[in-house]
């Protein structure tokens, strides 16, 4: 396609071809710059249900003075990858616990918890389910359908448990999953133009799930409840909803891993900036910590 003369600025190119999923390809054009991009297209079953393809290319990483723990601005190249559109939910995570229990593995170390508080429990049938006492019957709860807590993001899981879930899903799907490295996470969240949030540069509490997004007391809500929290690639809930473990080191010598994104009860808007990053030990359980899946591997055709 092209060459196409364009004024400097930020653009979203949508590429379509019959039999393949459309590719969303953001482009940032600086003064007197040319851009040459090569975009691979994939079929739906290669990308996978619930996953988004982020095409290879450069992005502006870091460079946000208002972020916590951010990098100096650099231009980096990231290869094609596939990332889950939404964070892993409590319902999906309970399926993982059920599978562990069914094969006789130790479930205790992977139970979502913070201190003495445990956020899932076995039901009368023996299957794991979210603990209803931790989802208040407030206005948000009344607006949801019965069992809505299964659609909330899993929270209070350690990095080790997130990785164990990824290994289990890899076995189930026949595709190698892990946690996203932070450069890929940031690209999936903010595109290529260095924007502050997935939707642009201006923050609004009604755009994402955080501590001031509703008039009532904050509590977890189902993933996807805030449609404006969507990146140029169509990845959702990367500003708020749940803070996410990555595969990257924050401080390798200290053993700390990087977390990205804001969460359902945080009340400082700087937490929700795409470049913000924090480091915690991988055994940490906090009610704001969850995760999503990532892979560089296209699924075999016909696998669905």
- The predicted pLDDT at position 302 comes to 62
Task: Give tens-digit pLDDT for 46-93.
Answer: 999 999 999 999 998 999 999 999 889 999 999 999 999 999 999 999
Residue 132 pLDDT: 74
Whether residue 63 contacts residue 76, with contact meaning beta carbons closer than 8 Å, is answered with no
Lowest-confidence segment of 6-20, 138-152, 173-187 by average pLDDT: 138-152
Would you give the end-to-end CA distance of the chain in angstroms? Answer: 30
Burial 130-164 (b: 16+ CB within 10 A, else e): beeebbeeeebeeeeeeebbbbbbbbbbbbebbbb
For residue 195, count other CB atoms closer than 10 A to its CB: 23
What is the average pLDDT across 112-129? Answer: 92
Q: What is the pLDDT of residue 280?
A: 98
Residue of 240, 297, 242, 253 lying closest to 279 (CA atoms): 253
Supply the pTM of this predicted model: 0.95
Instruction: Tell me what the mean pLDDT of segment 169-194 comes to.
Output: 97
The tens digit of pLDDT for each residue in 149-158 reads 899 999 999 9
CA–centroid distance for 285 within its chain: 18
pLDDT at position 136, please? 58
Question: How high is the mean pLDDT of the chain?
Answer: 93
- Residue 1: the pLDDT is 83
Question: By the 8 A CB rule, do 168 and 286 touch?
Answer: no
Q: Which residues pair with 89 in a beta bridge?
A: 153
Region of 105 please: left (phi>0), alpha (psi -120 to 50) or beta. beta
139: pLDDT confidence band, cut at 50, 70 and 90? Answer: very low
Position 13 scores a pLDDT of 95
Is residue 254 very low, low, confident or very high in pLDDT (cuts 50, 70, 90)? very high
The pLDDT value recorded for residue 217 is: 84
pLDDT of residue 141: 47
Task: Please check the confidence at residue 140 and state whether its pLDDT lies above 60.
Answer: no
Q: What is the pLDDT of residue 61?
A: 93
Q: d(Cα 14, Cα 262) in Å, to the nearest integer?
A: 28
pLDDT score of 266 = 96
């Amino acid at each position: 396609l092209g060459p196409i003369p364009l004024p400097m600025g930020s653009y979203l190119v949508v590429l379509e071809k019959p039999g393949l999923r459309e590719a969303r390809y953001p482009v940032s054009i600086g003064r007197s710059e040319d851009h040459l991009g090569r975009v691979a297209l994939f079929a739906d079953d290669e990308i996978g249900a619930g996953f988004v393809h982020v095409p290879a290319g450069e992005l502006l990483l870091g460079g946000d003075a208002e972020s916590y723990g951010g990098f100096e601005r650099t231009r980096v190249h990231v290869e094609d990858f596939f990332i889950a559109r939404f964070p892993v939910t409590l319902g999906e995570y309970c399926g993982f616990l059920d599978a562990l229990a069914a094969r006789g593995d130790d479930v205790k170390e992977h139970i979502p918890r913070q201190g003495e508080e445990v956020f899932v429990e076995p039901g009368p049938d023996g299957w794991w389910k979210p603990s209803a006492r931790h989802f208040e019957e407030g206005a948000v709860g009344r607006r949801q359908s019965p069992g809505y807590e299964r659609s909330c993001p899993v929270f209070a899981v350690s990095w080790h448990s997130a990785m164990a879930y990824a290994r289990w899903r890899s076995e189930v799907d026949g595709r190698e999953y892990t946690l996203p490295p932070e450069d890929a996470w940031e690209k999936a969240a903010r595109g290529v133009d260095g924007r502050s949030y997935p939707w642009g540069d201006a923050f609004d509490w009604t755009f994402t799930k955080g501590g001031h997004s509703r008039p009532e007391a904050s509590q977890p809500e189902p993933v996807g409840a805030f449609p404006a929290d969507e990146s140029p690639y169509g990845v959702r809930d990367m500003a708020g909803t749940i803070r996410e473990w990555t595969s990257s080191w924050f401080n390798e010598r200290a053993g700390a891993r990087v977390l990205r994104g804001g969460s359902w009860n945080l009340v400082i808007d700087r937490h929700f900036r795409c470049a913000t990053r924090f480091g915690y030990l991988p055994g940490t359980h906090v009610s704001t910590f969850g995760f999503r899946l990532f892979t560089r591997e296209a699924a075999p055709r016909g696998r669905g």
